[in-house]
Structure 1
Amino acid sequence: MPARRILSLWFPRLATERALRKMRTLPADPLAVVADRGGAQVIASLTVQAEAAGLHRGQPLRDAMAICPDLLTRPADPGGEAAFLAGLARWADRFSPWVATEGDAALVLDITGCAHLFGGEEGMIAAAQADCTALGLSLHAGLADTRGAAWALARFAGRTARHHRSGTTAAPCIAPPGQTRAALAPLPLAALRLDADTVAALARLGVRRIEDLLGMPRAPLARRFGQGVVLRLDQALGAVPEPVSPTRPAPRFAVRLSLPDPIGLEDDILAGIDRLLPVLCDRLRAAGQGARRLRLQAFRCDHGVEQVEIGLARAGDSPARIRPLLALKLAGIDAGPGLDRLRLEAHVTEPLPPRQQPGHAAPPHGAADGDTALDDLIGRIGARVGLEAVTRLAPADSHIPEKAYRVLSAAWSAPVTDWPARGRTRPLILFAPELVNAPDRPGPPARFRWRRRDFVTASATGPERIAPEWWLDDPAWRSGPRDYWRVETTNGARLWLYYAHGGEMSSGWFCQGQFG
C-alpha cells in the first residue's frame, strides 16, 4: 500500500486577486481588501504592490492609508470568496477526488496513488501552479505525509518566488516520504497551527522552532500549555490521524430542455414546462426535498436570457401546484426572435417529510394535496404582488392593545388555529389613538366630538385600566395609565374610548377603535 501523501494548496492573496478578476482593467495603484473586525476596518488581503509599500495583513486601514495614500480598497465579501474557493475545489478534482476546503483561502488534497498520472509529485504541483498562473492566482504548495506538515510547508517553508501579473507563485516545498520530522524541524512554532498566545508563551521560554519541542517531555508540556500543543505536534508528525474529508457538493435541482426550433408563444412555453416539471419534481421527491422558490430561464436566439421566479407558500414537489404559478409569470417573458432553450431550477428547497394519504384511494400522481388549498392561494396572490406582501396575524404576549398581535409573512408561518382568550372584548377595528373633544375628567363624557362629528353617549361600559410597560420607554404611552370605555352612542356607533391620566403629557380623551 503506498504511503499516504497530502497536498496543501494555499492562495495567500485570494480576496484581492478575486477583486482584480472582477475589474475590467488592472489598476496601477496598490489594492487591499478591507474587513470589519471588532468595529475597526483592517486589511484582510493585499496585492504584491501593497506589500512592497510596507503594508501587512491585520493592519488598521487608517495606518495603511497614512503609509500608502494611493491605496485602493475593496470591501471583503466572505460569501463571494467562499463561493470562489468552492469553485477552486471543483477545479482541484482533476488532481484527486479527495479535495476539501481548509479555512477561507486554502485547499487540502489526499493525492495518495494519484501523482504518477502527472509525472510525479513535482509534475502535479507544476500543473497546479500553471493553472493558477493562467487564472491570475498566487499559489503556495506544500506536500508531506500528514495534513499538518503539508499545511506548515505551504505557509512557512523557504520559497523562491517568481512574479507574474497579479502576484507570486512559490516554489513547491515537498517533504520526501518518511522525512516529515526533518522537514518540520527548522520551521517556526506558528507552523503547528498554534494560537498566537501559546506561541508567545513558548517564545518567552526560548522555544521558537519546532525542533525545540521535539525533545521536550510531553506531560510537562501538556500541563503547562494545554493538550492543544501536544495534539498539533502529534498531528503534524502523524501520531494522531487527521483524515481529509472531501467536500460534498451542494445538491442542485435543475432541468434543461433544448428546442429543435425557436418558440415564442406562451402555450409553447407551457408545453416545455410540462416536459420539465415532472422530471424536476421526481428529483426533488427522490431527495426528500420540496421546492420553495423556482427560477425559469428562457434563452433567446440572440443570446439574451429572460428569467422569472416564483415562490411557494409551502414547500412542494407536485407539478399541479407549481405549474399555475409559472403560468402567471409567462407574460413577463420577452421571446424576442425566439427561445431555443428552457431551464427550470429549484434554487431554494426544504426537507419535505413523507406523506401518507388517508383512505384507500390515493390522488393521482402529480395532483395537489387536499390540505394545500390555502397555501396555493397564497402562492397565486404572491406571484402577482409578491409573497412578502401577503401577511397574517399571530398573537403576541403583551397587554398593550396595539402590541397584542404580530404581523407575519403568510408564506413562512403557520396559521393560528386558536387565539388565547383575553377575558376582555376588543374592538373589531383598531387604529392609532385619535383626539376626542370632551370634558377633561375621568368619567365617560355625555357628549363628545370626534372626526368632525358630534356624538351623544347612550351607554358606557368600563373602565378597564391599562398601564404602560414600565420597562420600556414608549413615546405613545408617556401619557400614563389609560381607562378604556366601551361607548355606544345614540346614532349606533360603538367606539372604544380611553381617558389618559397624564404623566409626562397632558390628560384627555382619545378614540382607538370601533366595535362591529
Structure 2
Amino acid sequence: MRRVVSVFLPTWSTDRVRRKTGRPPDDQAPPLVTALPDHGRRIIAAADMAARRQGITPGMTVTRARSLAPELVVIDAEPEDDLAGLKRLALWAARRYSPLVAVDPPDGLWIDITGCAHRFDGEVPLLKDILRRIAASGMAVQVAVADTAGCAHAVARHVPSGRPNVIEPGKTRTALAILPVHALRIEPGIADDLRRMGFERVEQLIVAPRAPLAKRFGKQLYKRLDQALGQIPEPIEPIVPPSVPRVRRGLLEPIMTADAFIQVIGDLVDDLIARLTNEGAGARRLDLFFERVDGHFQSIRVGTAAPTRDPGHLRKLLSAKVETVDPGLGVEAMTLIAPLIEPLGPRQGEGLIAAGRRGPDLAALVDALANRFGQRRLYRATPKASIMPEREIELVAPLARADAAGWDDDLPRPARMLLSPEPIEVTAMLPDHPPAMFVWRGKRHRVAQADGPERLHGEWWREAGHEAAMPFAVRDYFQVETTTGSRYWIFRQGDGESPATGPMRWFVHGAFA
C-alpha cells in the first residue's frame, strides 16, 4: 500500500531569511515578515511565529501590520529563492529517505516512503528523523504520513503537533472527516462560500449530493476530495538534478510482467553505461522509476560497494528487486537514474563479454548481499588502537580501505570474544596466581595450566571521573587451559592486593580456538 509523507514548513520563508542573514531565532528577535508589492502597496507574503502571535497574517498590508507591531522587521520576499531552497531540501531528502521526493510549494515537500520505512525500523522512527534533522537546522516543521498525498498534506497543516502524525493504513476517510473544508487545497474563495453554505468539515462534503456543488464550484472541488480519499490518483513526480545521469524508455504498450521489466532494464543499463563511460564515472547508487498508466510512480533503489560500470552486475542487482514493484494497470515508461557516481577510469576489456572475468569479484558479492539484507547488516572488523580489548575492534564498510594499524602478535587475543564479559566464580591464590578452578554458566572447569597475568590499565581519559576512575580500571588477564582441553581468556578486576584497584571479581572474556 502506498504511503506518503507530507513535510510542512509553516515559516519556511522567514526561517530561510534568518539562516541566510544570521538573525537570532523568533524568541530572541522582533517579529519578521516578508512583503511583496501589490498595486502601489506592500502585502505580507510570509510571517514568522512571533508576528503571527501578534495577529499578523499573510495577505495583510504592511501598514496595518506595523500598527499591530511597531518593531516589525520587513524584508522583501524572494519567491524564487524560496523555491530553490525547497528544491535543495527535496534533493537532500531524496538522498536520505526515498527516491520519490517532490516539492510542494510554497512551504512543503512530499516523500513517497512506500517500501522505504523498514530502513529506519518503521514509519515513526523515519518521521522522527525528519523532524529532528530539519528542526536542528532552525526550521519550524510538522510531518504527517497517510495513504494519500492529499490526506498527508491536510493532516500536516491542520493537526498541529510537535510529534509525527501517523494516519494508519485504511483510515484516510476517518482522518479527513473532522478537518475543515479548506484543508482540501481548494481556492480560498470557494472555501469561504462553502462555509457560508454550512459546510464546515470535510465529512459534510463527503455525504452531500455532488451534482449541485460541482455545478456551482466546478470539478476542481471534487477532484481534490477524491484525490485525498484515494479514489483518483495523484502522482508525485520525483525531483532529479539536471546534472544527474538519467536515461528513459517510453513504451508503446503498457507492460506488467517481471520478464518485460527485466528486458527494459537491460536496455536502460546499456544506455546509462554509455553515458557513464563518456563521463569517466561509475555508479554507486541507482534509482529505477516505473511510471504507471494511472500516474503513480513505483521505484527501486540499489547500491554498490564500489563504483562500477559492469552491465551484467547492474542488471542483476536491479532485476532482483522487480518483484517488489506493483505495476497496477501497467507501466508505460521506465527511467533509470544514477544519483551517486564516483570517478572510474577505463578498464581493460570493458565492453567485451564478461565471461572471461579473471578471479572472484568481491564487490559483486558485497553488493548482492547488501541489497538483499541491507547495507547496515554487512560489515567487516578491523583493528583499532585501544588499550581495552573490547575497544580494539571497529566495524567498517566491507570494502573500506584498511588502516595501517594491526593487532600485536606478541599479545594473542581469543578468536571469540564475548560482547560483554560474563562473571565467574573462581578459586585462586592472590595476588598473582592463576585460577585453579572456575564455574561458568553453571559448569565447573578445572585448570590444567595457565599463562599470565597480563595487566591492563584502563583508558582513564574515557572513563567518568577521569583520574579518580583510573584505579578501578585495573585488569589482570590469564590464558587458562582446562583439563578437557578448552582454552579461555579470563580476568580479575583489581591487582589482587589493594581493594582500591577493584572489587577482585573474576570474568570470562573470550575463548581460544
* TM-score, scaled to structure 2: 0.54
Of the candidates 417, 431, 448, which is equivalent to residue 430 of structure 1? 417
AA matched with 1:338: G
- Hey, what's the Cα distance between the residues in 1 that align with 2:335 and 2:85? 22
Query: Which has the higher Rg, Structure 1 or Structure 2?
Result: 1
Asked whether the equivalents of residues 252 and 347 of structure 1 are also in contact (C-alpha less than 8 Å), the reply is: yes
Which residue of the partner structure matches residue 340 of structure 1?
332
Shift of 1:48: 3.4
Which residue in 2 is equivalent to 1:68? 54
After TM superposition, give the deviation of residue 336 of structure 1 in Å.
Answer: 1.6
Provide Cα deviations, 1:300-342, integer angstroms capped at 9, x if missing partner: 1122211100001111112112111111111101112111111
State the match for 1:10 in structure 2: none
Provide, for residues 336-376 of structure 1, a one-character-per-residue CA deviation record: whole Å limited to 9, x for no partner. 2111111111111111133346xxxx782566964671111
The 1:267/1:314 distance shift into structure 2, 3 A limit, reads: same
Counterpart of 1:486 (choices 474, 479, 484) is 479
Write the letter of the residue equivalent to 1:295: D
Q: 2:451 maps to what in 1?
A: 461
Matched position secondary structure for 1:337: coil
- Alpha-carbon contact 2:388-2:456 (below 8 Å) kept: yes
The equivalent residue for 1:229 is none
**Structure-2 separation of matches of 1:31 and 1:310:** 35
Matched residue, 1:378: 366
Q: Could you list the per-position Cα deviations for residues 119-169 of structure 1 after superposition, in whole angstroms to 9, with x for gaps in the alignment?
A: xxxxxxxxxxxxxxxxxxxxxxxxxxxxxxxxxxxxxxxxxxxxxx9xxxx
Take 1:494 and 1:80, find their aligned partners in 2: how far apart are those partners? 66
Q: Deviations over 1:49-89 (max 9, x none)?
A: 9x9999999x9x7xx369727779xxxxxx986555889xx
- Alpha-carbon spacing, 1:281–1:83, altered in 2? closer, same or farther (3 Å): farther
Report the secondary structure of 2:411's partner residue. Answer: coil
Which residue of 2 is the match for residue 449 of structure 1?
Answer: 439
Offset, 1:408: 0.7
Matches for 1:241-320 after TM superposition, within 5 Å: 251-320=243-312
Q: CA separation in 1, counterparts of 2:23 and 2:512?
A: 51
**Residues 1:474 and 1:363: Cα distance change in structure 2 (over 3 Å):** farther
Match for 1:286: what amino acid? N
Q: Which amino acid is the alignment partner of residue 392 of structure 2?
A: A
SS of alignment partner, residue 302 of structure 2: strand
| Partner residue in 1 for 2:504 | 507
Cα separation, partners in 2 of 1:56 and 1:256, compared to 1, 3 Å: closer
| Whole-angstrom distance in 2 between the partners of 1:369 and 1:315 | 17
Matched, 1:406 2:394: yes
**1:327–1:368 Cα change, 3 Å:** farther
Q: Following the alignment from structure 2 to structure 1, what is the Cα–Cα distance between the partners of residues 7 and 462?
A: 48
1:242-266 CA-to-partner distances (Å, cap 9, x unmatched) read xxxxxxx862211111111111111
Amino acid at match of 1:495: Y
Q: Is residue 298–residue 326 contact of structure 2 (8 Å, CA) maintained in 1?
A: yes
Matched, 1:33 2:15: yes
Q: Residues 477 and 491 of structure 2 are in contact (CA less than 8 Å); yes or no, is this contact kept in structure 1?
A: yes
The aligned counterpart of 1:364 is 352
2-structure distance, mates of 1:278, 1:370: 22
CA displacement 1:430-452 (0-9 Å, x = unmatched)? 11111111147332121111111
2:361 match: secondary structure: helix
Partner residue of 1:388 out of 376, 386, 391: 376
Q: Offset at 1:487?
A: 0.5
Q: Which amino acid aligns with 2:33?
A: L
Q: Between Structure 1 and Structure 2, how many residues are aligned?
A: 318
Amino acid in structure 2 at the alignment position of 1:377: L
Distance in structure 1 (CA, Å) of the matches to 2:23 and 2:35: 27
In the TM superposition, residue 387 of structure 1 has moved relative to its aligned partner by 1.6
Q: How far is the alpha carbon of 1:511 from its aligned partner?
A: 0.7
- Preserved CA contact (<8 Å) 1:320 1:367: no
Alignment partner of 1:345: what SS?
Answer: strand
The answer as to whether partners of 1:33 and 1:46 remain within 8 angstroms in 2 is no
Q: 1:402 to 1:489 in 2, by over 3 A?
A: same
1:480 is matched by which residue type in structure 2?
A: A
After TM superposition, list the pairs within 5 Å mapping 1:33-432 onto structure 2: 33=15, 35=18, 41-42=25-26, 46-48=33-35, 64=50, 68=54, 82-84=84-86, 251-356=243-348, 364-365=352-353, 370=358, 373-410=361-398, 413-414=400-401, 419-431=406-418, 432=420
Moved more, 495-504 or 256-265: 495-504
Give the Å deviation of 1:32.
3.8
Q: CA contact under 8 A between 1:483 and 1:498: conserved in structure 2? A: yes
Q: What SS does structure 1 have at the residue aligned with 2:421? A: strand
Which SS does the other structure have where 1:380 is aligned?
A: helix
* Per-residue Cα deviation, 1:400-424 (whole angstroms, up to 9, x for no partner): 211112101225x135799444421
Q: Report the AA paired with residue 41 of structure 1.
A: P
Q: Is the 8 A contact 2:414 2:510 kept in 1?
A: yes
| CA distance 1:477–1:275, shift in 2 (3 Å) | farther
Q: Which amino acid aligns with 2:264?
A: G
Percent identity over the alignment? Answer: 28
Unaligned runs of 5+ in 2: 1-5, 59-80, 90-186, 188-240
**Counterpart of 2:412 in 1: which secondary structure?**
coil
Amino acid of the structure 1 residue aligned with 2:509: Q
Query: 1:499 and 1:377, CA in 2 relative to 1: closer, same or farther beyond 3 A?
Result: same
Q: TM-score when scaled to structure 1? A: 0.53
Aligned to 1:497: 490
Q: Whole-Å Cα distance in 2 between the matches of residues 309 and 421 of structure 1?
A: 42
Could you list the per-position Cα deviations for residues 21-62 of structure 1 after superposition, in whole angstroms to 9, with x for gaps in the alignment? 9879xx9x998427579895257973339x9999999x9x7x
Paired letter, 1:47? T
